[in-house]
Amino acid sequence: MSREKGKRGEREWARCCRDNGYDCRRTSQYCGQSGDASDVVGLPGIHQEVKRVERLDLYGAMLQAKRDAKRGEIPIVAHRKNDHRWVVIMDAEDWFTLYSAWEVEQ
Q: How many CA atoms lie within 13 A of 58 on its CB side?
A: 5
Task: Read off the pLDDT of residues 79-105 as tens digits, 9 standing for 90 and up.
Answer: 999 999 999 999 999 999 999 999 998
Domains and CATH numbers, the chain: 2-105 (3.40.1350.10)
Global confidence as pTM:
0.87
| Secondary structure (DSSP) of 37-49 | --SEE-STTEEEE
How many CB atoms are located within 10 Å of the residue 24 CB?
21
Beta strands in the chain (DSSP E): 25-26, 40-41, 46-51, 74-79, 87-89
Task: Read off the pLDDT of residues 39-62 as tens digits, 9 standing for 90 and up.
Answer: 999 999 999 999 999 999 999 999
Closest CA to 66 of 38, 42, 88, 41: 38
What is the residue-averaged pLDDT of the chain? 91
Would the pLDDT of 30 be above 80? no
